Structures are given as C-alpha cells and as structure tokens.
A and B are shown apart, each in its own frame.
Chain A
Amino acid sequence: MFLAALAVFPLVQLLRLSLSDVQVQNLHRDWPFIGLENFINGFTSGVLTDGLLNTLVFVVIVTIIGLIGGIAAAVALRGTGQVTGALLGLMVFIWALPPVVNGSVWKFLLADDGLFNSMLSLFGLSSFPFLYDERYALISVAVVNAWAVIPFNALVFRAAVLNVPDEQFEAAQLDGATPRQEFWYVILPALRPTTLVLGVLTIVYAFRSFDFVYVMTKGGPGASTQTLPYLSYQQAFVGYDFSAGAASAVVAVVVVLALAAVYARSVLKEESE
C-alpha cells in the first residue's frame, strides 16, 4: 500500500500535469485542463521530435556497444587468473561508482585541454571537439554511457559463459575447433537467452539515462544531447514549464511501458516453465 501510494501516485500526477497548463505560479493552485495541447506543442515545435530522435540514436549506440563490449569482456575475462580477476574487479568497481564521478572524469578526459586532446596534439593533430560540437557530443556521451554499463553486462555474460558445460568445450576442442570457432559455435549460441534479457535491460538503462548528459553536456551544445529524460528535466526545472516537462516525461514513460511489457513477459514465461 505504502509502495503503491509512493510509486503509482506520482505517475498519476504526472499524467494530470501533462494535460494541464502548469507554470511555476500555479503549481500549487488550480491546474487548468488543456487536453493534449502540451503534446501537440511539443511535436509541432519539433522539441519533442528532436528529443525522441536523440534518444533513439543514444539508445542504439549504448545498446550495441554495451552488448558487444559485454560479450567481448566476458569471453576475454572468463579465466580465473589473478590478472583477469583484478581487471574484472576494477571494472565492476567503476560500474559501482556514482555516475556523477564517472561523468566528471570523462568530461575532463574529453575536454579541449584533456588527456585525449593532449595525445592528439602530440601527434600533431588539432584538438577534437568531443563534447563541444553538435555532431559529436551525443555520440561521445553515448559511448561513455556504454563504457559505464559494459562491466555489469560482462559480469552477467561471464556467468552465462561459465554455465556452458565443460563437455561442450572438450568436444569442440577434440574436433579441432579454433578459439574463434569455439566462440561462434559454442559460446555465442549459449548466450542467446542472456543476450535477450540483457538487451532489454540495456535499452531501458540507456533510455532513462540522465546523469551523464547532465554532468557532461547539460543537453548542449544547442539541443544536440537533449534526450527525453533530460528534456523533461530542462523544461520543468530550468524553464519552469512544469506541464511541458511532464508531457515529455509521459512520452518517455509510454516507451518504457512498451519495453517493460516485453521484459515482463519474458521473465514470467521463464518462471512458469
């Protein structure tokens, strides 16, 4: 009951806000009902459309790099040696660090006078505007986000690789399989169910990502890194247009609902076996 009140009630309020005209003056007074006007405005002005497109690009980059990187790391780190163990531990520690810390470091590394650009200048190249150019900022933040999620994915994939029965590897080795063939014909098929679930989790993670955008670019330059979660925050708490922010958030929630339905179905199906 406590849970229902605290978790569902905000969503109801959010929906009401998105259908009303609420600015900072009347946040605690009457909310005039205006129907779908907030949504229509958002889409006709292009703000919401751009937000959706940015989110899509962001999610695709994070998911692809996050999954491929996770599988690669899991396979490379499946041994039990000390170096492997230390590296895995370090990666999981970084995953456990607050996103605001990781985001700060990457903002520094990618800055004009940061490590990456200092290295480029050593090779006589001019500095690259990782975070200051509308064309690259979104990609940079997405790659950093993927970097942050790879350790978790690697840990889960690794458990799945370790679950493959020894006999399968032995059989493959008896048949003279190269490590590459072993990967394609033994490991990869065994990872399929894990990949599906982690795929959905990574998509959702990327979709709701807010921290890295806030820390690294604040949605800029221009509106080039305004993903839906950031857009709704920006509209509500920087522009003080609470109902516009709520409308953007509602669009995000609808997408999440669809994703969650897919995920819930696969989880429930797995349990009723």
Chain B
Amino acid sequence: MSSSTVTVATPRTAHGRRRTRKSPAAIAIRIILAIVYVIPLLWIVLTSFKDKDDVIGSSTAIFFQPTLDAYRAAFTPELLAALGQSLVIATTSTAIVLAVAIPAAYGLARVRGVLPTIGLSLLIVLQMVPQTATVIPFFQVFGGLRLLDTNLAVILADAALMTPFAIILLRPFFRAVPPALEEAASVDGARSFRIFWSIVLPVVRNGVATTATLVFLIVWGEFLYAVNFFLTPGNYPLSALLAQQVSSYGINWPGLMALGVITSLPILVLFSFTYRLLKEGLTVGAVK
C-alpha cells in the first residue's frame, strides 16, 4: 500500500484538532468508568430519599416512594452547629495556610542555593508524613497547652498539615513568573513588597485559587484531628460527625447518606466554580 493513497483516505479535521479515533476498547473503558463512578453517586442521593424499610431488598432498589424523612431527621441544631464548625475551621485554616505558604513559595521559587534546596526537600518529606504520625504528638502538645476541645487546636493542626503541601503546589506558579517583570517594576522605583503584591500576585492568582480550593477541600473532609482533639461531639465539624455515625453499630443508611449529601453540597458549590482552575492547576502543581 503506497503512502499517498493512505493520505487521501485519512480525513483531516478542519481546525487542526487532533482526530481521536474511537476504538472499541476506548468505548468499553468509558462505559465501565461511567458505571463505576455514576452508580455510587446516584446511590448516595437515591438512598438519602428512601425510607428505612426501602433500603433493604432489590424490589425497592430503583422504584420507591421518595421521602424527605432522612433530611428532616438530619436537620437538627447539632447538624447546623457542625456545619458552622466546618465552615469556621476550613476557612480559617485555609487563610492561615495561604498567609504562610504564599511568601514561602515565592521565596523558594526565587532564591537558589543549598539552603532552599534543603528546605524544599524537607517540605516534600513533611507533605508525605502520614497524618496519624502527627496526631499523637499534637494530642500531647495541645493537651499540655490546654487547647483540647477548642477550634484553635484543630485549626493549627490542619494548617500545619496543609502548609508544606500548599508551598509545593504554589512554587511552580511563582517560578513561571518571568523575573524581568519584577526587574522592570523595581527600575520604576517600586518597593519589593509592592512589586510582590501588585505585580507578582495577580499573575499567579490561578495558582493561589487552585491551592486555596484544594486546601479547603481537604480540610473540609479531614476528621482524624477533629475526632481526637474535640472531646465533646457537640463541637464536631460535619466530617467528624459523619465519621462517627458511619462507624456506629446499626447504621441508619438513609440518615447517613443524607448527612453525606449535606456534607458534599458545599463541595459541589465550590467545585462548580473552580473545576476549570483545578483541571489546569492540578496538572501544573501536583507533578512538578
């Protein structure tokens, strides 16, 4: 077969966009992915509208009388308090992490030498340390400081957990800012803080938004610190409440799924605003 005939036989797409060929394998993978990822999500929502008696048995798997009972039962003052706790803890932790990580990432991106390299390696190690390795010493330290059962303990622990991760995620964004941009500004007589604030920071705003989103998401779902540092369950955030209920005996599935949906809704809102950013930002920061 001569190559010229093949060229003619190969249709090109007009916009220079890559022509992806639909192989049976690719279609099969898509169907499997759809099943494996849609069903759990569908199931959590469906179950949350079920009556306790409809949960068991295949006859009522899809067709059932929807009820808001689970949500009605879930909406207690306890739940609202937990929602408030989640918001306070996640927002404050994210703010602290950004306040520390932005200058640190900028510094590590600009300065070269042995010390920054050591610092960077240390951060990579810290980012990977299992959370259970820090929960024990934190528990002892906060106990000694009489901070147990306060929001401050959980916020500090979350901030310490997320800061190395945030610095590593942010650093490539700062590295991508051309130093010439800053030099031009300093020639114009701008002071270094001003340069950072009004020249560099706007350029990396996507990176900051990506990092803030991820930190918020992870702190929102964090429950190990919360379960152990809060001595009274009345102080639990949503994630801890959910973790406590799922591990109790005789689980009320519709109630649990309703709580799961309520915990996930703020994530859905945040996610719908930041998905585009995440799609880009994750691939820049996470692997570099």
Chain A residues within CB distance 8 Å of chain B: 2-3, 6-11, 13-14, 17, 27-28, 72-73, 75-80, 83-84, 87, 89-94, 96-109, 113, 115, 118-119, 121-122, 147, 151-152, 155-156, 159, 166, 169, 173-174, 176, 178-180, 182, 194, 197-198, 201, 204, 207-208, 210-211, 214-215, 218, 228-230, 232-233, 236-237, 242, 245-246, 249-250, 252-253, 256-257, 259-261, 263-264, 267-268, 270
Cβ contact within 8 Å between B133 and A263? no
- In contact, B100 and A230 (Cβ under 8 angstroms): no
Q: Are B125 and A257 in contact (CB under 8 A)?
A: yes
Q: Is the CB of B30 within 8 A of A76?
A: yes
Q: What's the Cα separation between A122 and B137 when bound, in Å? A: 50
Overall SS of chain B's interface: helix
Q: Are A204 and B23 in contact (CB under 8 A)?
A: no
Beyond known contacts A104-B246, A180-B25, A264-B120: 12 more, CB 8 A cutoff: A6-B159, A14-B137, A77-B33, A93-B268, A96-B271, A100-B243, A100-B263, A101-B44, A108-B253, A115-B61, A174-B6, A211-B221
- A106 to B84: give the CA distance in the assembly, Å: 27
Query: B51-59, B66-74, B179-187, B191-199: which lies at the A interface?
Result: B51-59
Contact B257 A108 (CB under 8 A): yes
**Bound-state Cα–Cα, A9 to B157, Å:** 12
Which residues of B sit under 8 angstroms from A108, Cβ to Cβ? 43-44, 47, 251, 253, 256-257
Most chain A beta-carbon contacts within 10 A, residue among B38, B129, B275: B129
Q: B153-190 interface mask toward A, CB cutoff 8 Å, 1 = contact, 0 = none? A: 00010011001100000000000000000000000000
* Docked CA distance A273–B279 (Å): 26
Whose C-beta in chain B lies nearest to the C-beta of A113?
B56
A270 to B120, CA, bound (A): 14
Within the complex, what minimum Cβ distance (angstroms) separates A251 from chain B?
10
Which of B75-83, B139-147, B200-208 binds A? B139-147
Q: Which residues of B contact A180 (CB under 8 A)?
A: 23, 25
Known: A233-B224, A270-B288. A173 touches B141 (CB 8 A): no
Chain A's closest residue to B164 (CB) is A7
Q: Which residue of B lies closest to A270 (CB)?
A: B288
State the Cβ distance, A137 to closest chain B Cβ, in Å. 15
B283 within 8 A of A: yes
- B111 contacts A by Cβ under 8 Å: no
B37 at interface, CB cutoff 8 A: yes
